[in-house]
Amino acid sequence: MSERFLGWLIIRREERIFAMVKNHLTKVLDTVTELHRAITQAAQRNLEEANKTIDRLHEHEHEADRLRRAIAEELSKGELPPKDREDLFRFVDRADIVARWATDCARNLRILMNAKIEVADEIWKSYVEISDKLVSCVKALKQGMEEMYKAVDSALERIVEIEELESQVDVLYHEAKEKFLVYAMDAKPPVFQLLRDILHDLEQVADICEDAGDILRLIAIRVSGG
């Protein structure tokens, strides 16, 4: 096999992997978007639609996980430099964990809804606000990956945006904990724990999204030759 043809094959495989990573991030974004939609519907007491939305969320998360495995298989073929393979797999893995935490949150949300537990509007408001920030966070992550090979500076700006959004989620998270002391003090311990688990799941989505952004920054700096 000629070196020229081998180089062409490597470029084609890089393009294929990049396309798979973009598709994976689309599914991660779809998962988090459906979580925000389900929380909003639950806050409006539209439980039937919220359950349908959670069903769609699970489908998106399953597809994201399938794509993660397919990307890992492509990366294992070894045409990319070892450090690039390692960082790209770490990035995809962290992004996939974002979808998994969103799914865990949706499961807890469904338990809460199916038990027909009445939740104060102020707590729902916190969940809705945080989940809206999470959608923006994952959108910025996806945009950063898409822009990385075209405009590294723009990709780095998206990573800074992710950090800012994570900080905003952190503030909302602690405000929500304060609301629990006002609006959920009379809740039974299992209910209080469930409300707390939903909040924790939401926080983890933001934290892991920021972790993925940190890895993306490393990749972007290497792409730019920095």
pLDDT band at 5 (very low <50, low <70, confident <90, very high): very low
Architecture of domain 3-224: Up-down Bundle (1.20)
Cα–Cα nearest to 171, from 132, 124, 203: 203
Is the distance from CB of 159 to CB of 134 less than 8 angstroms?
A: no
pTM over 0.85: yes
Q: Give domain limits for the chain.
A: 3-224
How do residues 45-91 score in pLDDT, each as one tens digit?
999 999 999 999 999 999 999 999 999 998 887 666 777 788 899 99
Handedness of CA 77, 80, 86, 87 (dihedral sign): negative
C-alpha 40/C-alpha 24 separation (Å) is 25
Calculate the dihedral angle through the C-alpha atoms of 101, 22, 80, 86, rounding to the nearest 10 degrees: -20
Residue-wise pLDDT for 140-179, tens only, equals 999 999 988 788 889 999 999 999 999 999 999 999 999 9
Phi, psi of 195 (to 5 degrees): -60, -40
**How far is the C-alpha of 94 from the C-alpha of 144, rounded, in Å?**
15
Q: Which of 169, 167, 199, 165 has the alpha carbon at shortest distance from 183? A: 199
Write out the two tokens for 118: 């009445």
